Structure 1
Amino acid sequence: MNLLDTLLRCVGALVVFLTFPLIIGQTEHKVMAHMQGRLGPMYAGGFHGWAQLVADGVKFVQKEDIVPAEADRKVFQLAPAVSLLPYLIVLLVIPVGPNGFVGQALDAGLFFVLAVMGIGVIGKLMAGWASANKFSLLGGLRTAAQLMSYELPMVLAAASVAMAAGTVSLTGIVAAFHWWWIPWQAVGAFVFFTAGLAELQRPPFDMPIADSEIIFGAYTEYTGLRFAFFLLSEYAGILVVSALTAVLFLGGWHGPLPDSLGWLWTLLKTFALAFVVIWLRVTYPRLREDQLMRFAWTGLVPLALGQLALTGIVKVAIS
């Protein structure tokens, strides 16, 4: 019965959270349409373009599935799944509410999510290498450089909040949260969220895609549903980064709502952060590659180390 209960919870969480990336994708269409005066996304289906997401899905299904003749066929076909599945797996261990409101609670949940999120980036590396296209390969190399640069500050920022809570369990971190942590861990939250955007290659950190320079990076040779899976992995990544930031630095289910409605408070924080991700896309221009690297090593890494040192000092002072 315990195994069946765990399986049902995992399947239920996957079904629920698989719809959330689609909601974020639909929201991005609408938010960008309002911010940039785009009329197209407001027409599909009539009222406020409610069928835009359905129209996009039909479009991707109808497109021909093409594999370049010189591509490494198996790796090329596997890359979209490798890019998407890790983010869906991570969603299973992120606590949404108190009293076990989580797909699968892990004692080392923070280690698990950081490790599995890195696998999602490998899918993009596979796509860039297997496409037999110089633009795709260049996009894959940029992805690798970006991953190595921004993984370090992200891990250091997460280590800071784990040190503050005295546990690497995501549920334990939320349970140990106090409201005065928000200003105390504010720098760590900024570093974690920013590094997460860079790992997702979201603007202004989208140099591995850079459609005006290298067509569409690692995705250049992809069409149809495989290309749609890459887009879905990006939206799933937005959900993961936003949810982790809410859980680690904003108290997760803690808020003015009763504990029984804590899940709602977590979702509100998550989607507020997802809105910030979309807002950044339409607000800031793409960084140059040298600016991208410099920002990580001379900006985020020192900030993360400073936050880690501050956390250690505060922990010693209050103990």
Structure 2
Amino acid sequence: MTILAASALPTADFSEDTWWIWLIKAVVILLFLVGSVILALWVERRGLGRMQTRPGPNVTGPLGFGQAFADALKLVLKEDFWLKGADKLVYLLGPFIAAFTSFLVYAVLPFGPEVSMFGITTPLQLTDMPVAVVYILAVTSLGVYGIVLGGWSANSTYPLLGAVRSSAQIISYELSMGLSLVSVFLVSGSMSTSQIVDAQTQLWWGISLLPAFAIYFVSMVGEVNRLPFDLPEAEGELVAGHTTEYSSMKFAWFYLAEYINMLNVSGVAVTLFLGGWRVPFPLSAIGDGVLNTGWWPVIWFVVKVWVVMFLMIWMRGTLLRFRYDQFMNLGWKVLIPIALVWLVAVAIIQGVRQFADVDLTTLLLWIAGAFAVLMVVLLLWPATKKDEGTGAAAPGVARPDIVPAGSDFDAFAGGYPVPPLPGQTLPPSPRRARREAAAMAATHRTPAGSTAATHTQDKEGHDV
């Protein structure tokens, strides 16, 4: 608490800003986000095409860049429909909430230092506050209401399942994300985004707080429902999750929100862990730091954001979708415990530094290295025979080395049904047993001399 109170106010000075400066900044942020989404569509489709050895869009416009505009035009011109059984107001409110909240995060992210804009000295940031990061977490938490309300209001099974999955997923991974950010608050001494960037002048927190950065990166991919964590939309089982019953522009709002949220979590990662708008080390020595002044930092910020964006696109083209139980195990049994342990370690270091003159960077680097080694060891630790039975295959799956061929096995042993492998048989169906017992009871109750219970008839009513 003492550390945070020492520098509670943000360092950005907005005293000279006027209403038209705020308006210009807001419009520029809006255009940046919408333009980046169009560019992200092209980068993702072209990038995945190259990764998967296929051309990707290469006909519409130069290098296929016009395909993104064609997709947007298609969504605008598609037939829009309203569900008869849906809650009309909530059905429309869902995509609006998802899109509206996605535009709010960049309001507190700094694009650069102070510059002169039309004769007024102003920071390259719309606004800042002492609790800017808490504001970001609050806004991203509100975004899930759009998905949940959209899936529930459709009055359909698959959208509801997608909405329930999304609520559980985002709540789970927001916990680990929030814990990873607390260590940044402790070492920066502030929750102001501008001051967190200033605290990374010598060393980025992504290096000295490497475990926190790794936890944040995994959590942010789960937060925005991207592969391998796109369980709310899982096309193979839920068709499209919460967007199944949406079309035209209502679907486009959800689509737009997903990509803007990718830009949001990338911008937060850059601001809190990758030095914000500051130029990387080799270039920072040029001209005595001249590249960290003026309008140059905008370039470094945007480049860093797109590096993180490309990493998420790369993951989509490389990794397969998790099972839901694996996804929840990763969040609750791996990320949250590691984040708690790391947070305690950082808090102890900060407490020791109050009484002893210890170099913070050196201590953090040593502890981050130890955590990295521990995480690699746990990842590469060989599975035991018991683990192989529940980890290499889905729980309850009958395998030749576990369940002998030709024997019965419990299809619901893992909590959900799985089909048998060749040579294995399911136990008798309880429903079939009850049906046969009822038929036998009806046969015994038939009066003597009657053939009603022993004769069957074909479709035309003749005895068989």
Give the alignment's TM-score, normalised by structure 2.
Answer: 0.66
Paired residue for 2:141? 118
Matched, 1:217 2:232: no
Paired residue for 1:298? 333
Paired residue for 1:263? 298
Deviations along 1:72-96, whole A, 9 cap, x unmatched?
1111112111111112111111111
Number of aligned pairs?
Answer: 318
Matched, 1:277 2:292: no
Paired residue for 2:110? 95
Deviations along 1:236-292, whole A, 9 cap, x unmatched?
011000110011011111222511211211111110000000000111110011001
Structure 1 distance, partners of 2:311, 2:113, is 26
1:180 and 1:232, CA in 2 relative to 1: closer, same or farther beyond 3 A? closer
For the 8 Å contact 2:95–2:146, the answer to whether it is kept is: yes
- The answer to which of 286-295 and 33-42 deviates more is 33-42
Structure 1 distance, partners of 2:350, 2:278, is 22
Structure 1 distance, partners of 2:263, 2:85, is 35
AA aligned opposite 2:51: M
Paired residue for 2:179? 156
Residue of structure 2 aligned with 1:20, choices 31, 36, 41 = 36
Q: Which has the larger radius of gyration?
A: 2
For the 8 Å contact 2:46–2:55, the answer to whether it is kept is: no
Residue of structure 2 aligned with 1:7, choices 7, 23, 46 = 23
Residue of structure 2 aligned with 1:145, choices 165, 168, 174 = 168
AA aligned opposite 2:139: V
AA aligned opposite 1:182: G
| SS of alignment partner, residue 92 of structure 1 | helix
- The answer to which of 269-278 and 25-34 deviates more is 25-34
Deviations along 1:136-169, whole A, 9 cap, x unmatched?
0000010111012111001111111011100000
For the 8 Å contact 2:48–2:56, the answer to whether it is kept is: no
Unaligned runs of 5+ in 1: none
For the 8 Å contact 1:18–1:88, the answer to whether it is kept is: no
Mapping 1:43-62, distance limit 5 Å: 43-45=59-61, 47-62=62-77
| SS of alignment partner, residue 112 of structure 2 | coil
Matched, 1:29 2:45: yes
| SS of alignment partner, residue 98 of structure 1 | strand
Greater relative CO (CA pairs within 8 A, separation 6+): 1
Structure 1 distance, partners of 2:277, 2:227, is 29
Matched, 1:136 2:151: no
State the 1:40 CA deviation: 4.6
Paired residue for 2:205? 181
Across the aligned residues of Structure 1 and Structure 2, the Cα RMSD in angstroms comes to 1.5
Aligned sequence identity (%): 33
Structure 2 distance, partners of 1:316, 1:184, is 17
Matched, 1:41 2:64: no
Paired residue for 1:317? 352
1:165 and 1:232, CA in 2 relative to 1: closer, same or farther beyond 3 A? same
Q: Which structure carries more helix by proportion?
A: 1
State the 1:180 CA deviation: 6.0
1:3 and 1:58, CA in 2 relative to 1: closer, same or farther beyond 3 A? closer
